[in-house]
A = this chain, B = another copy of it.
Amino acid sequence: MKPYVVGIDIGGTNTVFGIVDARGNVIASNSIKTGKHADVNDYIAELRDALGTLIEAHDASDKIAGIGVGAPNANYFTGMIENAPNLPWKGTIPMAHLLHEAFGVPVAITNDANAAAIGEMTYGVARGMKDFIMITLGTGVGSGIVVNGQLVYGHDGFAGELGHVIVKPSNGRMCGCGRTGCLEAYCSATGVARTAREFLEIRTEPSKLRDLPIEEITSKDVYDAAMSGDKLAKEVFQYTGDIMGRAFANFIAFSSPEAIVLFGGLSRSGDLLMKPIKESLDRNILPIFKGKTKLLLSELKESDAAVLGASALGWEARQTPTPASTQPIV
């Protein structure tokens, strides 16, 4: 078997890529600017040069088993990126096919949260687990669900949009997806900042956060204030954890996972967030599931995680979906 895979994480700003071995060591990595190329063919050309150079520099030309890609709105079944709002290319992009043409190895593609779940299962804290849910807490809330040892893609390849489960059926906040009350509108980094702004406007207690221009408050500001003892900032985390724990109780009623694994900036808020999540989960969980599902933090280094997660999919890549094919690539 060839000893390496390549992981490519396509983000709105940067595309990070790396060569990874079977033990999850990132042998080498580099990046290019995603947004520089309005034409996806120019993007592929730059990526071919940059990644090709990296591969040659590490004498890995014939040693790549496959390429795994994590990208927003990427469809595992079709190999397409479909209408991703944060990428420069409109419509449907046959990314797996284009990369296969450029590099001549099998390519598999999925969205970034699914890639994170596969990475966690292959190299991280979910090693050996057959049932778990990965929740990524970043600018948005993403998820990757594993059932019976397999990622849940659903019939159309887009399953696992737990950031867009409606947690506030009435009086819910506007979400970026156009609906109201989604988990993401409350429990992402931006959701935390929004909660802080709401609290500051509606409540009257003093808070260090009042020293900042209200529109510029970030989740990091709320974290810093809470860590220095600010009561209002702490209650923002309490509120966030309360909603998250309730949502997790519903997720557990669905797939009864061995663990829920949290990843991303907000997940590193420590007890500020974990304690209210656990309390809310305990309060809201169906008795039959009580105390059974572990709440874990990702073990992957944030800097490597995107590439590692995508690369893990590279081991699974067998046959690259082409624009003409809508068959699963398994």
Contacts and interface: CB of A to CB of B under 8 A. Distances in A.
A241 interface: no
Interface stretch (A11-19, A88-96, A112-120, A153-161): A153-161
Nearest to A157: B256
A257 B160 CA distance: 11
A167 to B, nearest CB: 7
A150 B152 CA distance: 11
A51 B223 CA distance: 65
A169 interface: yes
A190 to B, nearest CB: 18
B158 A288 contact: yes
Contacts of A166: 246, 249-250, 284
Contact of A155 (B153, B164, B168, B258): B258
Interface string A135-174: 0000000000101101011111111111011111100000
A45 interface: no
A43 interface: no
Interface of A is mostly: loop
A9 interface: no
B155 A254 contact: no
A254 B164 contact: no
A253 interface: yes
Contacts of A150: 147-148
Contact of A145 (B162, B178, B179, B254): B254
A318 to B, nearest CB: 16
A130 interface: yes
B161 A288 contact: yes
Interface string A158-200: 1111101111110000000111000000000000000000000
A103 interface: no
Contacts of A286: 161, 164, 177, 179
A292 interface: yes
Given A150-B148, A169-B168, A178 B287 contact: yes
Nearest to A150: B148
Contacts of A178: 287
A155 B169 contact: no
A327 B260 CA distance: 22
- Top 7 nearest A-B pairs (CB, nearest first) are A154-B256, A159-B256, A155-B258, A131-B155, A161-B253, A165-B250, A164-B286
19 contacts: A130-B155, A131-B159, A145-B254, A147-B148, A148-B150, A152-B255, A154-B257, A155-B293, A156-B289, A158-B288, A159-B256, A160-B255, A162-B253, A164-B253, A167-B169, A169-B169, A178-B287, A179-B286, A250-B250
